[in-house]
Chain A
Amino acid sequence: MGDRVVIGLGSDLRGDDSAGLEVARRLRGALPPSVAVVESSGDPAALVEAWSGAALAIVVDAVRSGAPPGTVHLAAEPPAPSRQPSGSHALGLADAVELGRALGRLPGELVVVGIEGGDFTPGAPMTPPVLAAVRRTARGLRERLSRERPAGPPG
């Protein structure tokens, strides 16, 4: 487990829903060795496992909030558990946060990056504005994670 972890959530089957996975794939091998990169289908158990012990976890997922496709939402707080999903994985992530809390296994800091999707049709390719947002997000995270050191005691 790295001291920081980037987790890409999503499904390759549903168009823009693969945005989080694509970001993770673009970061694999491009970050310092202390940063783990994980792809996940959103299984809460796997998410808790992935961020346990990490000082910082950045979760990237596709969302559907009504904003223009390709909009990148940055939230320091994860989505609240809800019966109405705002993205196809939002509830999975909220579940994972609740599971982590119940087990005392939340990361030191959790940042959720939501990429607004436009087309979630099964079998559809990723749409151009979302692909551009994926590139932008991957570039931004690469810069941030190559630069920043995790919070914690010096040494």
Chain B
Amino acid sequence: MTHKTVRIGALTRVEGEGALVVHARDGLITTLELRIYEPPRFFEAMLRGRAHTEPPDITARVCGICPVAYQMSACQAIEAACGAEVTGPLRDLRLLLYYGEWIESHALHVYLLHAPDFLGYDSGVAMAADHRDLVERGLELKKAGNELVAAIGGRPIHPVNVRVGGFYRVPSRRELAPAAERLRRARDHALATVAWVAGFDFPDVEHDYRFLALRHPGEYAILSGSIGSGDGRADPAGFAVADWPDHVTEEQVPHSTALHARLDGETGYLTGPLARYALNAARLSPLAREAAAAAGLGPVCRNPYRAIVVRAVEIVHACDEALRLLGGYAEPDRPWVPVEPRPGVGHGASEAPRGTLYHRYRLDEGGLVAEADIVPPTAQNQARIEADLRDLLAPRLGLPEDELALLSEKAIRNHDPCISCSAHFLDFRVSRG
């Protein structure tokens, strides 16, 4: 009998800390545990007793990469609890801010984290030494996103201008002009990015995913809509964001601070770019649709390695839609709508760059937060990432441990898990019994 334990202490080029422990016996995987640290749990406790205006600012600190996602899901949940809704030009401004975050986050992942896997580099830094122009293009793209976020959000990370009901102040057309100028160039870069990554050599892998993503009748959903789910073949099923607790349940797993999510009782569904693309591709901007077709994506993509192509297409869409909204931008009459606290429950969901982010708040008689529930995309994807890893590793257990570690890291990176903070190091051990 042979025992094999593969352990990756923390994953490189994944945002934050993670560890993967695999136990195998007689050539079969007995357990596979992705251990991740997720901060939303202690945020939920921290939020209790706070004013209804506070969750957007507090939860924005969960993640340095996607604070806007946290702000948007939080704002919408609180607004729903209070019977308010943000519409028209104020909603457009929220979309613009969110597109900025998508561009920043996706450009970082595509260029510095994911592309090195396909070009044979062990880091974005190593890649930069040989491909300076490419990396500069990625940084310029990212900067276009940063500037859009800064122009609307007040600063590029942890935007301070967002409040329940809208914004503290709204930018003038003139203030947004430099961001628009940069976005025009960024859109060309984004198109070039799609063509570049589409030419990578992808492992021939497909998984039969069950997808979950926000859907919106008129948009490639990012900010709001209803929840859709499906396998990319049959018409997607759907439910209202307010019905989330009836469909998505979470369970504690001993090896992780993250909870495992189940959709209608089933574990292992997938949220993120592949899910959005499978359920919403028809609503991409015409330019993004063309880019996707030219990249050979087809209507559904089940190869997780090709998520890099979908992310690149989403950058095109974000640039394109942001430019469309900026072209028609008129300063809203007022920067926010009043949101009066009242006792009740509100639900909010939006599409963080790495997948659907759900918030629920219950406000008490005094308008304070009595309960908070945050379901981040990485918790939802954790079981699915483990399933991808089982499929990957099961036939390859005989490979040397460093190769297994590398393969595992790449498979995890496909899903861009956001595990917060930024300790990156590799502690890798194998024990054989």
State whether B64 touches A102 (Cβ < 8 A).
no
Task: Decide yes or no: A13 and B61 within 8 Å by CB, A39-B158, A92-B422 being known contacts.
Answer: yes
Nearest Cβ on chain A to B41's Cβ, whole angstroms: 9
The contact string, 1 if C-beta is below 8 Å from chain A, for chain B 39-65, is 100100010000000000000011011
Task: Decide yes or no: A102 and B135 within 8 Å by CB, A42-B422, A43-B64, A45-B112 being known contacts.
Answer: yes
Residue of A nearest to B421 (CB): A11
Task: Decide yes or no: A88 and B423 within 8 Å by CB, A39-B157, A44-B112 being known contacts.
Answer: yes
Residues of B within 8 A of A31 (CB): none
Residue of A nearest to B124 (CB): A99
Nearest Cβ on chain B to A13's Cβ, whole angstroms: 5
Neighbour of B123 across the interface among A40, A46, A95, CB < 8 A: A95
Nearest Cβ on chain A to B42's Cβ, whole angstroms: 5
Say whether A103 faces chain B, with CB atoms less than 8 Å apart: yes
Neighbour of A103 across the interface among B37, B46, B123, B128, CB < 8 A: B128
Task: Decide yes or no: A49 and B146 within 8 Å by CB, A12-B61, A95-B123, A99-B125 being known contacts.
Answer: yes
Say whether B184 faces chain A, with CB atoms less than 8 Å apart: no
Among B95-103, B136-144, B163-171, the stretch that binds chain A is B136-144
Residues of A within 8 A of B139 (CB): 45, 48-49, 103
Task: Decide yes or no: A14 and B158 within 8 Å by CB, A49-B143, A98-B125, A122-B37 being known contacts.
Answer: no
Nearest Cβ on chain B to A107's Cβ, whole angstroms: 16
For the A-B complex, the count of residue pairs with Cβ-Cβ distances under 8 Å equals: 85
State whether B422 touches A99 (Cβ < 8 A).
no
Residues of A within 8 A of B426 (CB): 83
Residues of A within 8 A of B125 (CB): 44, 95, 98-99, 102
State whether B42 touches A123 (Cβ < 8 A).
yes
The contact string, 1 if C-beta is below 8 Å from chain B, for chain A 123-152, is 100000000000000000000000000000
Nearest Cβ on chain A to B376's Cβ, whole angstroms: 14
Say whether A91 faces chain B, with CB atoms less than 8 Å apart: yes
Say whether A85 faces chain B, with CB atoms less than 8 Å apart: yes
Neighbour of B422 across the interface among A41, A84, A122, CB < 8 A: A41
Please report the total number of B residues contacting A with Cβ < 8 Å.
33
Say whether A89 faces chain B, with CB atoms less than 8 Å apart: yes
State whether B132 touches A102 (Cβ < 8 A).
yes
Per DSSP, chain B at the interface is helix
Residues of B within 8 A of A11 (CB): 64, 420-422
The contact string, 1 if C-beta is below 8 Å from chain A, for chain B 61-96, is 110110000000000000000000000000000000
Residues of B within 8 A of A40 (CB): 157
State whether B421 touches A13 (Cβ < 8 A).
yes
Say whether B425 faces chain A, with CB atoms less than 8 Å apart: yes
The A1-60 residues at the B interface (CB cut-off 8 A) are: 11-14, 17, 39-46, 48-49
Residues of A within 8 A of B142 (CB): 45, 49
Say whether B424 faces chain A, with CB atoms less than 8 Å apart: yes
The contact string, 1 if C-beta is below 8 Å from chain B, for chain A 81-101, is 001110011011001001100
Task: Decide yes or no: A43 and B65 within 8 Å by CB, A11-B421, A83-B425, A122-B37 being known contacts.
Answer: yes
Say whether B129 faces chain A, with CB atoms less than 8 Å apart: yes
Nearest Cβ on chain A to B27's Cβ, whole angstroms: 30
State whether A85 touches B112 (Cβ < 8 A).
no
Residue of A nearest to B38 (CB): A122
| Sample (11) of A-B pairs whose CB atoms are under 8 Å apart | A13-B62, A42-B422, A43-B65, A43-B108, A44-B112, A45-B142, A46-B157, A48-B139, A88-B423, A92-B422, A123-B42
Show the binding face of A for B, using Cβ within 8 Å: 11-14, 17, 39-46, 48-49, 83-85, 88-89, 91-92, 95, 98-99, 102-104, 122-123
